[in-house]
Structure 1
Amino acid sequence: MSDEVMELGLRERKKRAVRIAIRRKALELVADRGICGVSVDDIAVAAGVSPRTFFNYYASKDEALFTPAEDRLEAADSLIAGADRSLGPLGGAHEAMLDLMDERKHDLTPVRLRRKILEREPALIGSFLRVSMSTQAHWVARLHERFADHDPPFPDGYIELVVTSTWAAAGTALSVWGAGGHAEPLLDILRRQLDQLSAGLAHPLSNS
């Protein structure tokens, strides 16, 4: 590996670290004070960067709060690319979501903070949904690639339905888990939700 390539990798890692730090501080501050109680300057100071640097990474506070984390997108890509083809898109999506929501493997603090923010700031739900829809579209594209040569082809909209329902199950699991005071592990609740979906979506219907 050339010095130039290594330097590029180092720069990208540093940029990602700054992006993560800004996003994390934005989540923490807004969860604690509310969106109107936090300025870009506040976030920049907490993250140890200048306001100008903040705007190099994010166009607004909303964007800092809800932009998908690169590591989770990459983890999803890897999980879907390596999904057992015998499980089909439904099983692949479910296994990916279970992995991503496993607290033993991933830090779910940002997930919790976003949930707290949305409960406190319902006006931000639109921003959250726009990002959620974009991320779900990313999953759909990856699943289409993984199962592109499936014979017969899956009916129109099936993979989209799989992803939408998988994300809905994750949202429901988070709500149940939060309302239950963490009495039952999140992963157990999510698995039960996904099993319920599998009972009704395991066999795709034809277009006709």
Structure 2
Amino acid sequence: GTYKVTFRLKSKGDSSSAFICVDVHTGGRVLNSTTLDRETIPEPNDWFLCDLVFSLPEFATDVEFRGFNDGRPTDICLDYIDLRQLSLDENLLLTKLIHEYYTLLLGRTPGTQELDHWMDRLRSGGSKADLVKALLSSKEQKGKWEDKIFAASLHLHLLGESLDHEQIETLTESGGLWEELLQGWMNGTEWDTALGGLDNRRFVEKLYRNLLEREPDEEGL
């Protein structure tokens, strides 16, 4: 079955990481471990609640917490709270959690391999913070935010109006090319109001000043 050990962690110093081994007894000795990066460890003397989720064979009986491995860093305090078996519903909650973060941060559902990877990570000691950090630092998510920032900046500098969140989402999720996006703006009344009265030279000069924050050189003109 799937089990979860809940404990508290407190750093007494500037530890770069905490490699935590939990000794769970099932009629034999089972070691389950997790590594917490320094970013997930709170400031010294602040308690941090941790969950270590892991799987044991279905025939495992009399599962009980026996202690933490003595090899942990001396500047880490650990305080055991609880050990319990997760129900089927709680396993489904892990799946739902992964789907929600993928949808929120990447705008799509996870693939089968991605779902299996993160289910294993969360069951073997990974945290929700690990999932969020991985998605936020992914090339896919970074590209989405760069597109959103570019769309908002372009609209503001060209047409003099800020886009709200819904408008930005509509522009960047449509899947169209930037050329199509610009063409759509050029056909709108906002474009005529802001830029329609400019000749080619003044239009190019405005682009340089607003987007590149400099005057155009003769070659650029």
TM range (shorter): under 0.3
TM-score w.r.t. structure 1 length? Answer: 0.20
- Structure with more of its chain in helix, by fraction: 1
- Structure with more of its chain in strand, by fraction: 2
TM-score w.r.t. structure 2 length? Answer: 0.20
